[in-house]
Structure 1
Amino acid sequence: MGVTRSDPPRLGAPYRRLWTSTAFSSLADGLFRVGLPLVAVTMTRSPTLIAGITLAVTLPWLLLALPVGALVDRLDRRHVMLGANLVRAALAVALIGLLSSDVSAIWVLYAIAFGVGAAEVYYEIAAQSIVPRLVHHDVLARANGRLFGVQLTADEFIGPPLAGLLVATGAMAAVAAPGALWALGVAVLLLVRGRFRVDSPAAPQGTARQPATGRMVRMGRRPAGLRRDIAEGVRFLWRQPLLLRFTAMNGLFNLATSAVFAVFVLQALGPMGLSEAAYGVLLSVIAAGSLVGSGLAERVERTLGRTRTLWTSYAAAVPTVAVPALTTNAYVIGAAFFVGGAGILVSNVVTVSLRQRITPDRLLGRVISAHRLVAWGTKPLGAALGGIIGELLGVRIVFAVMTVVALAMLTALLGVDDRRLDAAVRAADH
């Protein structure tokens, strides 16, 4: 039976399985991300050393994003995701063994955090690249909204308070739970059938076509190097000024939020007087707002248009870093986190869907990695800045400085309008 124009495209069973696997993996991320700094607090109260955990887990985005993007465009994207989760589960098992041996050196936490962060680079780039292969482009906003919704809900809404409770019962539980969840993510992802490797353009038997130049080379010789592949993706992003603006905006905002949340645990457990469990609950409010944003993103974009949606959502995200500079009231900060979480999610849905629509599938992994190099590569820089500023000037000064950075981010939207965005999408479709 044919599909009529009145029939809305469905997301489908493969997408739902990806969604379920992502839910397990994201919950594991949330437990690990919050649990590890809480374990570190039992070893040291130095802002620099505590911020080192965030630095270690985010540093791989700065070091590995570009080559990983090129590899994702060469490999089966589902296989990359499976391998990344298996590595993270194995690292969780290794950490359990180290903790059971009473190892208390914080450098061990840094090493495990870096390994988990490296696996995350592979997983995230492959996951975002695989979505357009699973759903129709007309429902990309819906698919991304639901995927981001479950990621943020599990990672930041359920994960943080659960991590606080697990750490209260023992460090072992806080480490074992993420390992088990990453393994569950592997099991569900195995049910997503199909081949998710980008096919090269057709070539005569015995030859292969180099994607960057179309020049023919004989099979058996080394394919075009990673540097050539990486350069092709970077050039594409550089020649798309709208996508480049969004990359710069995300980089500035992630620099600010990474600096703030690298030291926020000291503010929460100190002047704010929160317990570990209450700290986890407060962080989860961001995900509560994100959950609301995931349900509204498609409708808001359709009602306001892309440009007004971007202005509104990015502006709503600024209080996430600004309000902690003004007050230690947990309820006021929680309200700012809720609004900011909704804004962050809506802006992500719009910008990611645009990137997927504008970028050719064969380049998607590389363009995402180039974007993430800037957008997420600033996270370790932010964590380092947060630790240094906090050590020298105090934690609340970190919040004030990063508020200025977040406000500066908004200037990149000047000159962006729906006409330019629509034209970019039409050009990509043709």
Structure 2
Amino acid sequence: MISRFGDALRTAALPLLAVRLTDDPLVIASVTACGYLPWLLFGLLGGAVADRVDQRRAMWAVDLVRGLLVASFALAVGLGHASIPLLLALAFCLTTLQTLFDNASTALLPSLVDREALGSANARLMTGQQLAGGLLAGPLVPLLLTAGAFMPFAADAGTYLLAAALVASLRTRPPEREPRPAGSTLRTEIAEGLRALWGDRALRAVCVATLLCNIGMGALIATLVLHVTRWLDAGNAGYAAAMTAYAMGSFSGGFLAQRIARRTGRVRALLLAGSVQTASLLLMGTVRHLAALVAGMLLLGAMNMVWNVNQVTLMQQRSPAAMVGRIASAFRTSSTSGAPLGALLGGVVAGTYGLNGPALLAAALFGLAVASLIPGVKSDVPVVAPQDDGTTARATG
């Protein structure tokens, strides 16, 4: 959660810094696109490695390296050497490291809590991340920027280093894995993860839907700073308000995710979330008022949390324990591949059809995502709550 606090500072500050350096919508969108590209190049490899190594050690080592990278970037910005190529390089390097970190953390959680408690664990973890990364960090960005453009990045570096120390201090059992077959390679193990994902009807439908949503979100997020500061003429304060509304919605969605899933099943919970998000995006793209944007971002954030909790939990519950990292990486790589395309597409649409165009494009894509979920409903399963409605941690010895 600590590193997510810093991530939120950096994520909000990067586009604002990019706007200072250029007014080209496509170039600004490229900063976001570059932050997703490593998932296409290294995502599958990160999942295979995560299934082979001690996930806890991998996580703290990655955070240590990311902290040093962002600290170097903050120094460059403070010395007046910020540039678009430097922003692109930072986004690319951080996401490359994230491919290992995220897959390792997804694979580690099922070994720490009981299987039926995964939904509660994911909801609490993601809600805590939103509290730290959105509600607390978002409003601080304008204040930090007044002290210097380097400040959000310096704070981000500090949170990475602190998070690395905390993860390194955890005491967990060494991972228990069956010996790999003779001649097994990373390539064959990656292929096993892809086949397992494609062979599961529910996961396949959710993966396709998430791909479509990520194209839409890539288009929206890459151009949101232009939507707020130029189409709405709401300035940096309006941008901060939009990001804070999204974080508040995400925080509330964490409390709704499990309740909705228990009533509907996980795939149907995704259907509901996608439908509400489609309506929210239509509101944002048609009503030229900051209040409409804030309301839309609030609903978008809440339903995004409902989506994420149920999507990740469904994947963890339907994956063999020894393959969680590979299936997670296959899912993320396949679905995340739409984000850089969406970011670039958003820049083109904003420059050609107007700055509200990306929100309308996202609404259309979310509608298609809802339709693509229908085949997975038949494979949905009821959600059984733990007896104590909580998360049961396993002993680590």
Q: Same fold (TM over 0.5)?
A: yes
8 A contact 1:73–1:364 mirrored in 2: yes
1:340 aligns with 2:300: yes
Distance 1:306 1:111, change over 3 A: closer
Q: Distance in 1 between matches of 2:263 and 2:190?
A: 37
Aligned to 1:35: 13
1:184 counterpart letter in structure 2: L
Aligned to 1:193: 171
2:77 counterpart letter in structure 1: L
Aligned to 2:150: 172
1:108 aligns with 2:86: yes
Q: Distance in 2 between matches of 1:287 and 1:352?
A: 19
8 A contact 2:241–2:294 mirrored in 1: no
Aligned to 1:154: 132
8 A contact 1:315–1:343 mirrored in 2: no
1:58 aligns with 2:18: no
Q: Distance in 1 between matches of 2:218 and 2:134?
A: 14
1:234 aligns with 2:212: no
1:110 counterpart letter in structure 2: L
Aligned to 2:214: 254
Tell me the SS of whatever aligns to 1:192.
coil
Aligned to 1:280: 240
Q: How many residues align?
A: 384
Greater length-normalized contact order (CA 8 Å, ≥ 6 residues apart): 2
Q: Distance in 2 between matches of 1:195 and 1:106?
A: 44
Shift of 1:120: 1.8
- So what's the TM-score if we normalise by structure 2? 0.92
Backbone CA RMSD of aligned residues: 1.9
Q: Distance in 2 between matches of 1:140 and 1:181?
A: 26
Aligned to 2:345: 385
Shift of 1:150: 1.8
Distance 1:358 1:196, change over 3 A: farther
Report % sequence identity: 30
Aligned to 1:204: none
Shift of 1:100: 3.4
Task: Tell me which of 286, 295, 299 is aligned to 2:255.
Answer: 295
8 A contact 1:319–1:340 mirrored in 2: no
2:79 counterpart letter in structure 1: S
Q: Distance in 1 between matches of 2:321 and 2:281?
A: 35
Tell me the SS of whatever aligns to 2:272.
helix
1:177 counterpart letter in structure 2: A
Tell me the SS of whatever aligns to 2:381.
helix
Tell me the SS of whatever aligns to 2:231.
coil
Higher alpha-carbon deviation: 105-114 or 153-162: 153-162
Task: Tell me which of 323, 334, 340 is aligned to 1:363.
Answer: 323
Q: Distance in 2 between matches of 1:403 and 1:309?
A: 18
Aligned to 1:420: 379
Tell me the SS of whatever aligns to 2:292.
helix
Q: Distance in 1 between matches of 2:130 and 2:191?
A: 32
Aligned to 2:392: none
Task: Tell me which of 80, 93, 99 is aligned to 2:58.
Answer: 80
Distance 1:384 1:184, change over 3 A: same
- So what's the TM-score if we normalise by structure 1? 0.85
Q: Distance in 2 between matches of 1:288 and 1:295?
A: 12
Distance 1:70 1:384, change over 3 A: same
Q: Distance in 2 between matches of 1:256 and 1:337?
A: 14
1:79 counterpart letter in structure 2: R
Give 5+ residue unaligned stretches, structure 2. Answer: 385-397
Shift of 1:94: 1.2
Distance 1:193 1:295, change over 3 A: same
Shift of 1:198: 4.6
Q: Distance in 1 between matches of 2:266 and 2:152?
A: 40
1:268 aligns with 2:246: no
Max Rg structure: 1
Shift of 1:196: 4.7
